[in-house]
C-alpha cells in the first residue's frame, strides 16, 4: 500500500490539483478509492459509462482506442501522477478510450459527481481541468497535423523522444525507454506499418541514433533524433551520475544558439 504522504505528493504534482493547499488535498485524498490493477488488466474501458475520474498513483498504463472495424490504436502512455476521465464530471458520457495497465498500477478514483462537486468547492480545479482539456485538444490537433504533413521518420523520432522524456532512465549507452515497447506499439503510435518502423529502427541502429532489442529501445543520439524530428524535446536526468545523453543534448543546443 502506498503511504498517504506519497499519494499527497502525487496529487500535488498533478495539474488538476496543483494549486490546492494541504488541507484541501487531505480532504480530496480521504474521499478517493484506491485500487491495484494487475498488468494487462483494464483501468477503464472504451464505451463504458464515464462514472469515475482517476489519477495514476503508481505504475504505467497505455491509452487504446478501438475503431469501428475492430482495429486497436495505441494513443499514448500515462505514468504516475497523470489523470484520466475528466469527462466523468459531465452526465451521460462514455469513456472514449480504454486504459490498460502496462505493469502493476495503483489508481485513485473519485465518482464523477464528486469531481463535479470539487469544481464548485474549489473553482481553481475547474480552471485547471479546462486548461488540461484545451491542451489535450491541441495535442490531438498536432498529431493530426503530423500525420498529414510529416514523414514517418519525423513522427517516429518525435515519438521516441517523447517516450524517453516521460519514461526514460539513464543507461550506459544513453536514455533507456523503460516501457516494454514493441515495434507494433511504435507503428500504432505514429500511424504507419510494422515494416516501416522495423526498417527505420534498423537504419537508425546502424547509424548510432538508437540501440534496439526485444521490446527495448535506448536513445543514444538525442540530438540526431531531434534533427530528424525538427523539434527539441527535453529528456530527464533520472540517475545520480550525469547522463551523457543529456550533456550531449545541452552541448548541441548551445552550439545552435546564436552568440550575441
3-state secondary structure 143-164: HHHHHHHCCHHHHHHHHHHHHH
Rounded CA separation 190/192 (Å): 6
Q: How many CB atoms lie within 10 A of CB 146?
A: 17
> In the prediction, which pLDDT does 23 show?
93
**Residue 233: what pLDDT?**
52
- Structural domains of the chain, ranges and CATH numbers in brackets: 4-147 (2.60.120.10), 150-256 (1.10.10.10)
**Which residues fall within 8 angstroms of residue 55, CB to CB, at 6 or more apart?**
10, 11, 14, 16, 81, 82, 83, 84, 107, 108
Q: Describe the strand order of the beta sheet including 210-213 as a list of residue ranges.
A: 168-171, 174-177, 216-219, 210-213
97: its cell numbers: 478510450
CA distance 223 to 221: 5
* CB-based contacts of 48, cutoff 8 Å, min separation 6: 94, 95
Query: What are the pLDDT tens digits along the chain (260 aa)?
Result: 677 888 998 899 899 998 899 999 999 999 999 999 999 999 999 999 999 999 999 999 999 998 888 888 898 999 999 999 999 999 999 999 999 999 999 999 999 999 999 999 999 999 999 999 999 888 888 888 888 888 999 999 999 999 998 888 888 889 999 888 899 999 988 989 999 999 999 999 999 999 998 889 999 999 999 999 986 554 443 332 223 333 333 333 344 344 44
Question: What pTM does this model have?
Answer: 0.77
121-125, long-range: CB < 8 A, 24+ apart? 122/20, 122/24, 124/19, 124/20, 125/16, 125/17, 125/20
Amino acid at each position: 500500500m502506498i503511504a498517504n504522504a506519497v499519494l499527497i505528493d502525487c496529487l500535488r504534482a498533478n495539474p488538476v490539483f496543483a494549486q490546492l493547499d494541504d488541507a484541501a488535498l487531505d480532504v480530496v485524498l480521504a474521499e478517493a478509492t484506491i485500487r491495484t490493477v494487475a498488468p494487462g488488466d483494464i483501468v477503464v474501458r472504451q464505451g463504458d459509462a464515464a462514472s469515475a475520474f482517476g489519477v495514476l498513483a503508481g505504475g504505467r498504463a497505455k491509452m487504446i482506442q478501438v475503431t469501428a472495424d475492430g482495429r486497436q490504436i495505441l494513443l499514448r502512455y500515462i505514468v504516475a501522477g497523470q489523470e484520466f476521465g475528466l469527462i466523468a464530471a459531465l452526465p451521460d458520457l462514455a469513456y472514449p478510450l480504454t486504459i490498460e495497465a502496462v505493469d502493476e498500477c495503483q489508481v485513485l478514483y473519485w465518482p464523477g459527481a464528486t469531481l463535479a462537486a470539487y469544481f464548485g468547492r474549489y473553482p481553481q480545479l475547474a480552471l485547471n481541468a479546462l486548461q488540461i482539456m484545451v491542451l489535450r485538444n491541441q495535442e490531438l490537433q498536432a498529431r493530426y497535423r503530423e500525420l498529414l504533413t510529416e514523414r514517418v521518420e519525423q513522427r517516429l523520432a518525435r515519438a521516441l523522444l517523447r517516450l524517453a522524456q516521460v519514461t526514460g532512465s539513464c543507461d550506459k549507452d544513453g536514455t533507456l525507454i523503460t516501457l516494454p515497447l514493441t515495434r507494433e506499439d511504435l507503428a500504432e503510435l505514429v500511424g504507419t506499418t510494422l515494416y516501416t518502423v522495423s526498417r527505420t529502427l534498423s537504419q537508425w541502429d546502424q547509424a548510432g541514433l538508437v540501440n534496439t532489442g526485444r521490446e527495448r529501445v535506448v536513445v543514444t543520439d538525442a540530438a540526431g533524433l531531434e534533427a530528424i524530428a525538427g523539434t527539441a524535446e527535453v529528456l530527464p536526468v533520472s540517475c545520480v551520475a550525469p547522463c551523457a545523453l543529456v550533456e550531449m543534448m545541452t552541448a548541441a543546443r548551445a552550439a545552435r544558439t546564436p552568440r550575441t
